[in-house]
Each structure stands twice: as structure tokens, then as C-alpha cells.
Structure 1
Amino acid sequence: MGSGPAPRPALLLLLLALAVLLPPLPAAGERRRLACSTCRGIVDRFNQGLADTAKKNFGGGNTAWEEKTLSKYESSEIRLVEIIENLCDSSNFECNNMVEEHEEHIEKWWFKLKKKYPDLFKWFCIETIEVCCPAGTYGPDCLACRGGSERPCHGNGHCDGDGTRGGDGSCSCNKEYTGEFCLDCTSGYYSTLRNDTHSVCTACHAACKTCTGSSNKDCQDCKEGWIKNDEAACVDLDECASSPCKDEQYCLNTEGSFSCKACHASCVGCTGEGSDKCKTCASGYMKEDEKCTDIDECNLPEKVCIKENEDCVNTSGSYKCVCSEGFEDKDGTCVQTVKPGGEVETETIEPSHTGHEDL
């Protein structure tokens, strides 16, 4: 038997390009989760449509005609069509595809079964098209989650695939719990109730890494930043005692830790916050009433701005020399300011610097 014609190179290239460009299809389990989510969304929108159309053809009176009209519209095909038209956004492919594929089921439920099966989600998504499971079950066969369908993961976590035809039923435990069934306590928590069906884990004292009770005396191991005292209780370790901070910082001890804070600008070295905690005053500051305060260089007996037509401006820890009013700096020299329409004055003053960093 002869073999068929070999694929053309151009066709192979096209197939390769499509494989690279098209997004990968979701795995089977993920598709099942998505299908359930889509179906749940359809039912939610259907129920919203029921609410939105409940009084649409009712004028608000109590006449027999209005009651009759409402009764007809309530279960009419017109109302169903209006609801179905709004079940999906135009861009939602999965939703539109599911409605189109199963529209006959929805119509059957609407006209014949809704009184017998009032829960549309249960009838449509779980029992008819079989894309969802009852709460507390998972997977293609709707098996019970770990810990049982009544209280999946014993109420201490989330069952993988819960309510969908996907997942494996395993538990993702809340932060307090661990173990296959979320019955054990994680590090930093201790058990206050434990039996075959229930487990309650409570946070240890802030000082404890592991514990058997609620106080710092019940610690089995201390957290970092804490240390056991003579009474075997975990107490705060004062890290500041070892002077861990840089020269221009002070140490602030906190429970279980510490932080290094910048000294006040007036300090060279400090023991705490503020200008009253300086070890030594920085240049431009002096000790006054136990605080390092700014020296006003502009009021010293000896002038610091010695050039003509310049003024002294005090700054924190320093000062500046600036041209007097009516004068402006030109290449380090204070010259008279030219008035609008006036001539440039040629008289200049002796050159001067215009600023000072430190004394």
C-alpha cells in the first residue's frame, strides 16, 4: 500500500506558526472549573432577569385585566426570550456557546419543570448538563471533599474543586491550620479544641515561635528578638544594649526587634530623638538650656558678611551672604540693579561670595 503525499513545507510552517501564536488550551480540570463558573454565571443572570422582568407588564393597579395580563406574561415565551437575550455579554464566548448549546434545556425547564425543580442551578448545572457538583463535592463523579461534604476540610480550609467537576478534593488550609484534613495547628498556633471532626487553633503569644498555651510562659521556642528569662518566659531582647546603629543614629528598641533612627540635624551623635539628646552639638549650633540650638551668625559681634552691599541671612546651622536690596550678583560682584528703561550703572562693588556652608 503506497504512502500518501508528503506534507508541503509551507503547510508545516503554517501549522508551526499557529502552534506558537495560539494560546495553549486549558487543562481538563481547568476546563471543568471554567464550565461550572460559566454555568453559575448564566443562572445568576437568569435570576436577575426574572427580577428585572417581574413587574414589567403590570401597571401597578389591581384590575382583573392587569392580573390576567401579568399572569400570562409571567410564564410567557416573550419573557423567556427577553431574559435569554441578556444572559451573556457579547464578548463572552464560553457563555454564549453554552446558552446556544443548551437553550432547549432552558426552554424545557421554563415551560414544564420550573415548578417541580425551582432551583435552576441544581437542575441545570448539576443534574442536567453536569458541569457543576453540589457544595462539598468535587471532580467528574462529585466525590466528597476531604473531611466530608458537610464540612469540607473540617471548616478550616478550602477544598480544591469544591462545587465543580474539576479539582482533586485536597485541602488548602487557613493560615492557622495544616495537615491533610486541616486539623493540625501551624507554627505560632496552639490547639484549644481537637476531636475527630473539629479543631480550633489559637494564636500563640507574640513572643512565641511555638507554644502550648496563650501566655509568654507557654512558649516552647521564642521568636527571634525574644529570649527566655529565669522563669522560662520569653521576654523582649533589648538589641540596643549592643549599640547596633551607626554614629549619626540612635537605637529604638521595640517588642521583638529594634530600629535605627537618624539623629537631629543639630547633633553629632545622639542618645535619642530631638536636639536635647545630642552627645555633641554640630557646627553652627551651641548648647543652650540642655539643647543644641542654632547660632545666629548674623548677630555675632564680629560681622561674617564683610563685603560692601551684602547682607547676612541666618539658616539652620549656618548662614548666607546675599546682595543687599537694590543690588544683584554679577560674576561674584554685587552691582546696582538696572531699572527698566534706565542705563546700566558702571559702578561696581568689590567681589563677594554669596553663600556659606559652615563656619
Structure 2
Amino acid sequence: TGNECYCGDTYDRNAKRDDRCLKRCENNSSVSETCGGDWRLQMYSVCPTGKYKGAGDALIGNETNCENECHCKALPCFYLNGTCTDGCAIGWKGDACNERDCKVANGGCQQQCTEKESEKWCSCDMKFRIPPDDWRKCVEIVKCVGVRGADYHEDCHTCVNTNGSYTCVCRNGYELDPSTKQKCIDIDECEGTRGVDYDQDCHRCVNTIGSYTCTCDEDYRLNPGTNTQCMPIGKTDTPERETSPSGVCVGVDVKPKQGPIAGGTKVTVVGQCVPLGLILGQVRLRSSLDSRVFETPEVDVPQSVPIYVILPPESKLHTLGSEFLYKANPVIEDLTPKALSSQGGTTMTVIGSNLDTVANSRLNITQLSITVNSTDGTKTFDQVDYPLTPCIVQTRSLLACKTPALKLPSTEEFGNFSAEFVFGFEFDGYDEYSELREERHNISAAEFTVIKLPDVHEHHWPPYDSSANEPLTLQISWGDFQGETDVIVGGVKSDIAKRYTSSISFLPPEEHHIKKNQKSDCHASPDAHTVHVQAGNVKGIAGCLKYVPSKSTTVIIIGVTAAVFCLLLVLIVACVVHKKKVLKRNRTK
């Protein structure tokens, strides 16, 4: 930029030479420089954005000497006698603003600042990374929004984000690799115990990927309904039923047929009669207030035991033909995400093992008392015991629990404050997890944060052509809750094509699938459909979406229009003919 010139307050631009600035010398006797001439040569080296004068002459070969990077407070950077006269930008110090300074505003870095680095001196803590658009910022590493086999292991069945990393939930027949906890490996059931790890009636266990099968003794065959049991040739795999002389005890069965060795599982006898008792193995169970419901006892080790039901009217002992499986007690290893939505309704994932052994799982959150500062001193809010929220068993190593809406002091009134929560679970007959404590349950000690999901700004999409099957982009950044955010168009959930840290790519439903008479908030465009985003109890409007008419609709419109036009033409011709007949008749008279 050799022909670019910047003039200070006491200089005028030379009209004849755009690359010169003339000094106004009136009342300026203190200035030792000669008036007039090339301003850059006499006092300053003025360089374009991002540079300042290098060593030596201000001009080298008629080119401005701007070889050094500039970090002045204002640009262009004015450099006088080895000093940047406007002061240094954040993150820099020294006369020439060329020394790194991490003590002021952390050098402009969000997390870590390194003074010895000359370029891109910001870095991130573990489990965070620098985003491509700003090397001063840090974002959490979210593996599970990436590509299987690239961002997380290809043998990870269901990827679950943890604090800066990930783990996996595995399908039945697989378990989490204990060495990495980031891939699923096959369980060799055949190395386990008969009646516990594989079926009691499996004569010779043969491991398969994700399961097992059996080879059977002579006069037995493989049960085609399960492929994991041997049954006598000629016997069907239909569950055994028995009818009493009165004909009332039909279809006897029990549910569930498994539970933890800690006991407490409520087993219900179903069928057309009320049982007189239930026996598991050699133990007769106690019934509750409901004579159909019985509670399992505690046993020492995992095992399978036969099920017997005592039936009326003669107290006949009925063998059910199946077994009750006592499984190992549940183990909880982690909770994710390490965040709670203040509005509630979002999903907290519980990672562990043997989680399918428990019944009626519920999340129990207690908010301890909170002390805040107010104009009258300090104020204490009482402990809150939130209502139990349901959990759904997804696999034996995964529970999905809904979180309640939180009752917190107002940050607008009291400012920032700290809140502590105690997490626990309630399982029928099993109180070991009523309060999770790190020393007992190996729960990671990461702190939980409370987040209020922000509003989504209004989007303006072009009319959508569903025949093109191209996804639309929604700009949204809901952090840990991005993975459970739904995009709803006209009351119908959209298919999610891809989730990113700050956006979601979605495929709107075809317009004919949208609910009829669905109330729209798009008052300015009645034929448009409202686009909502929802995570838990938070539901916001992202904009309105119109559809391009489908080809079939266009053909129908053209056909109807043509039909109407033809009808009008026929009517006009008929009117003309009728009028001519009337005129002719009048002339003959």
C-alpha cells in the first residue's frame, strides 16, 4: 500500500501527491522536523491494519516498511520513535505492542493464554477445543453429534456425551469395553453360568455375535421361538396353560420374570383366577394388599428358579413352565449431561449395568437450601424435595429419566448464587440408591450447572419444496440439550438430518401429513405453518414455513381452471345461439 497515506490532526493531505501529508507549521516552533515534505519520512510510519513499522527506514524501495505485526488499540497503527502512540490492544504490552500480555483480560482468551506463543496464543482446557471461526474461544467437545467411526467409535451402538468425551450404551448381547468405555464388545454368554447367563434348557451353548444359540441332545430340538432352548421333539413352544374343573384358571402367568438379588421386586400373577400363593424355587412369597401381587425375597447370588402358582379351588400346584431370573444388583456409574434445565422436562441419562433388573424406576432430586444476598442482608430459601419423575429402562445399561422444573430464586432480584442438588433413585423394594453418594456409587464428582434455555431467533426460510428432499437449517445452540431438541412443523415432528453444536439440519414433513385445522401463529401468512422447537418443557417459535405447491396440486388447479373456462365458454356460446334464435323469431312475426 505504498500510495496510501494517513494524516494526523496537525497535517494536511498534499493535493498534488496522494502519498504525502503536509505539516501545518503555524505556531509549531517546538517541532524539530522540517515543515512540508514527506510526512511519513519525517515523523511517523503509518501502516495499514494489522502492521506497524519494521526496523530501518520507513520506506524500503519506495514501499512502506510495515513488516511487523501491529497490536495497537486503534487501527491504523501510529508508530513514533519506537512507540505505538495509541496504546496496545488487549493481550499486548510494551512500547511497540509486540509483547504478549496474559494478565489483562487473560489476553482475550476464553480459557488459557500462553505468553511465549507469537501466533494464536489461546488454548483450551481438557475436553474443550477451539472452534474454526474464533481461535480465542473454546467449545466443549461434543463427540456424539459427529460421524460414527470418525468422531466416535464405529462399534459404539448408542453414543452418550459425557463431560468433554463420550461413552456408549450397548445392545443386548454386548457390553461396554472396560478398557476404553467407548465401544461395545460381544458378551460370550457361554462362558457364564447355566441358568444365569444362558438358558437352563440349553444343552450345549454356542456363542454368536450379540447372542448365543444351542445344540441339543438326541430326541430334543431347538426351540424356534427363542433359538436359545432345547425342547423335546413333539412339544410346542406354546406356554403351558391349565384349566381347573370350574374353568376359571385359564392363561395363568406372572410378570415380571426377573429382578435384582436384593429382592423387593413386585411380581403380579395374571389370569382369570385369583391365586392362593406363589412359590419361586423353594420359597413361598408374601402377598401384598393385592392378593395377586407378591414381593421377591433377597438371595445371595444370581440364579434362575422355577415358578409355581397355587391355584384354587383345591390348592393345586401349577408349574408355570418358565423361571424367575435373579440378576445382579444395579450399578450406577455416571449421570449425563452434567446440566439441568431450569424449565425441566429434559432427559437425564443414567449409565450403569443391570439397570433392567429394577421395576418402576423414578428419579429423586432434592435441592438443598439456598442462601442469597439481598438489600436487607442475606435470605435463605428452604430445601425443595421435587416430585419423583419417571425413568424408562432403555437397555440393561441405560435409564432415561425426565427432570422436574426447578424452583430457584430470581437472578434478576438476587444476582448470581450457588445451588446444590442431591440425586437419587427410587426402585420398588430397593432403597440402596435413594441418595447417590460418591464414596458409595463411584459417581463422577463433576459439578452440575443449571441452564435456562434461551429463546430462538426468528427464521425466514424460502418456500419449501418437499419433492427435493433437501434439509433446512435451524440456528440454535442449546448445549447439552441439543441432542433431544425436536423441530415441529405444523404440529408434526420433523426428521433430523444432522445435529451440530450451533444448528440443526431437519427435513420438514410433507404438507399433506401436517395436522388439519392445526392452529397457526403465522398471522401475516395464513397459508404458512408454525415451526416450533422443543426440548423438555421448553417450546419456542422459530418461524413460519410455506410449501411449494406439489405437481399434483398444480395439475388439479390447472384442470379445475380449464374445466371452469370450458364451462364458461359453453355457456357463452349457448347464450349467443339462444339470442340469435330469439331475434330470428321476432323478425318472422
Q: Taking structure 1 as the reference length, what is the TM-score of the superposition?
A: 0.29
Greater share of helix residues, 1 or 2?
Answer: 1
Larger-gyration structure (1/2)? 1
